[in-house]
Structure 1
C-alpha cells in the first residue's frame, strides 16, 4: 500500500499518456487511415494554426472528433460511477447498473423505438432524432428514483434494499423489453437490437453538448464525495461517528450516478463492463482510497473505451462491430481471471 502511494504520481502520469495515445489513435484510425502527424495538423487547423487537406479536416472535425470526445466522456463517467457504486455498496463486484438505471434506460429507449410513432406523433420534425435519447434518459432516471424510494425505510435508506429493488426492476424491465421486441416489426427490432449493443457511431456535436452538460455535473460533484466514500467503507455507523451525513451522501451518490449513467446510455446505448472492470483494476494498483481511485478510474475508463472503439472500427472494416459486444467479449473473461486470482489469494 505504501508503494502504491509513492507510485501515485507515476501511475497518474502513465494513465494520462495512455489517454492521450488513445485519443490520437481514435482520431487517426478507421475505415480511412490518417497519419498521426496529419491528425495533429488537422487539430491545429481547427484552432486556426496552419492548414491541412480538406478531406482530412472533414473526417477529423465532423466524424471522428465528436466520436472521440463522446468516448472520453462516456468511458470516464461509467468508470467514475462504477467506482462510486463499489464504494457505496462496499463490494468490488458492484456496477452502476445495480440501481436499475441501465435497465430503465433500455426500457425507455425500447418504448420510444417501438411505440414512438404514436407517443411522439405531435412533436416537431426537428425533435424526432432525439426521442430515443430522451426516452432512455427519462427511463433511467425514473427507475433509479423508484429503486431509491423502495430502498427507504424508517431508519433511512438501506443499501441492501436498493440492491434487491434494482435487481427486481431490472428483471421487470427485461420482461417489458422482451414484450416490446415481440410486437415490434422488423425495422423496429433491428433498431432496438443495435441500440442495445452500444455504439459511439451516433456521436454528433448536438448530442455531445447534452452529454457534456450532464457528465460535467457528475464529474464536479462525485469526486468531492471521496472522503465520505472512504468513511462508508468502514460502515454506516462509523461514518456517522466521523461526521458524515450518511443519508444525504447516499441520496446524492445514487441520483448523480443515475444522471451520469442515464445520459451515457441514452447517448450510446448499453456498454457493459467499463464501470465494473476499470475501478477494480485501479483498486488493484492503488488500493481503496477514493481520492486516488476516482481520478485514476476516470482516466483509465476514457482510454479503454476509446481503444475498444478503435478495435471495433478495425476488426471487420469497413463495417463496424458494436462496441458493447467487444467490451463484453474482452471484459467478461478478463474479470473472471481477476476473480479467480482473488479467490486463490483468499477472497476479494
Structure 2
C-alpha cells in the first residue's frame, strides 16, 4: 500500500505508515479490526458516537476511547474522535481534521450500525415499528453514504486505497430473505453488497479497492452478554445453543482485514463480499484459540439444513 515503509512490508508491521479510519469502531468486529490494523502498524482513527462522556442509543459501556486504548495496548497508534456518521457536518469536520493531520486515508473500514436493538424479530413490515425500521435503514445505508461522500476523497489521493463495508452474511446467504429478521434489517444489511459493487466501480479509475466483509457468528460483547458468558468460558453457551460452537472471536475478522489491507493483490477482490472464514483460508489466519472457523459454510451446510451441531471439518 502506498504510504507504507518499504522496509516494513515483510515484518510484523506490514501497515507501518498507513492511515486507517474505522468508522463505528466502538465495539464488536469494528473494535477488533481497529486493534489488528494498529497492531500491523497503521495509525488508526476510531470514530463512533459512544465516548466516555456520552452513550449512544445502543446504551452499552464500550467507548471509542476504550477501543483506542486496546489499539495502544497492542502496540499501535490510535486517535479516538466522537462522530455521528448520520450528521454530514460532523463527518465533513472529521474529514478536514484527517486531511490536515495526514492528508490522506489508506484504509477505510465502515462498520457503522448500532441498530440491533431496533429489530423486532419476525414481524412483517406492517407490524414492525415504522420508526425502528426507518432508523435501521438510516444506520445501515444513509450513514454509510454520508461517510463515503466525505471520506473517499481522501482515499483516492493515492492508488492502493481500501474500503471495507462491514455487513452480516455473505452475498450468497443473503440472496434470499433472512427469515425471522425483518424487512428493514434485511435491506439495511444487504445494502453493503451493493455499496461494495458501486464503490468498486467508482474507485477503479483511482486504483483503489472496495469490498464488503462479514464475520461469522461473532462473539461480540453483546452476544457474550446475551448468553451470559465471557470470551474465556464462551463454550458454556453451547449447552444452550449447540450451533454456537462455530462462533468466532472478533479478533478473527480483525486479523482478516489486516491481512487483506497488507495484500498487494487485494484489488482482485474488488466489488465482492468476503467473509472471515474465506479470508482465513487464503491468508492462513487462525482464531485466538488456534482454530479456523468457517462460519458461513457451516451455517449453510449444517445449521440451515437442520443437521445436529457438529463443527467437524468447519473449524
TM-score, with normalisation over the residues of structure 2? Answer: 0.30
Of Structure 1 and Structure 2, the greater strand share is in 2
Of Structure 1 and Structure 2, the greater helix share is in 1
TM-score, with normalisation over the residues of structure 1? Answer: 0.28
Which of the pair has the greater relative contact order for Cα pairs under 8 Å at 6+ separation?
A: 1
